[in-house]
């Protein structure tokens, strides 16, 4: 079970239905892009979970640094005026 230790890791995104966004569902090992799609199909769509698969090499994902979380995200905490909650919504507007 450890033979694939050297296989690159891929992140898998599945679109559940047409019109929806692809959602991250997990990761898997594969030697190449084609195998990543096949493994994703077998692992993540066997119960009709999706109609489209994206696979991205985990190494190609640029992530924010958890150590910088304060600098990145804290400043938004006290700026509640950025939420559009200060408007009176006319009753005629049904969907907003």
Kindly list the residues in this chain that would bind other proteins in the complex (CB under 8 A). 1, 3-4, 7, 28-32, 34-35, 38-39, 41-43, 46
Q: How far is CA 17 from the centre of its chain?
A: 15
Question: With respect to other proteins, which residue has the nearer C-beta, 22 or 29?
Answer: 29
Question: With respect to other proteins, which residue has the nearer C-beta, 6 or 78?
Answer: 6
Question: With respect to other proteins, which residue has the nearer C-beta, 25 or 28?
Answer: 28
Alpha helices in the chain (DSSP H): 33-44, 69-73
Q: How far apart are CA 13 and CA 24, in angstroms?
A: 4
Q: How far apart are CB 4 and other proteins at their closest, in Å?
A: 4
96 secondary structure, DSSP code = -
Q: How far apart are CB 13 and other proteins at their closest, in Å?
A: 17
Q: How far apart are CB 93 and other proteins at their closest, in Å?
A: 46
Q: What are the distances in angstroms from CA 17 to CA 34, 36, 75, 86, 96?
A: 22, 20, 36, 34, 23
Question: With respect to other proteins, which residue has the nearer C-beta, 21 or 48?
Answer: 48
């Amino acid at each position: 079970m450890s033979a694939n230790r050297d296989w690159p890791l891929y992140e898998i995104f599945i679109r559940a239905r047409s019109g929806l966004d692809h959602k991250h569902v997990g990761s898997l090992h594969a030697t190449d892009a084609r195998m990543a799609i096949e493994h994703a199909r077998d692992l993540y769509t066997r119960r009709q979970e999706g109609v489209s698969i994206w696979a991205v090499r985990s190494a190609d994902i640029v992530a924010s640094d958890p150590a910088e979380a304060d600098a990145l995200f804290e400043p938004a905490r006290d700026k509640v005026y950025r939420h559009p909650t200060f408007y009176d919504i006319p009753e005629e507007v049904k969907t907003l």
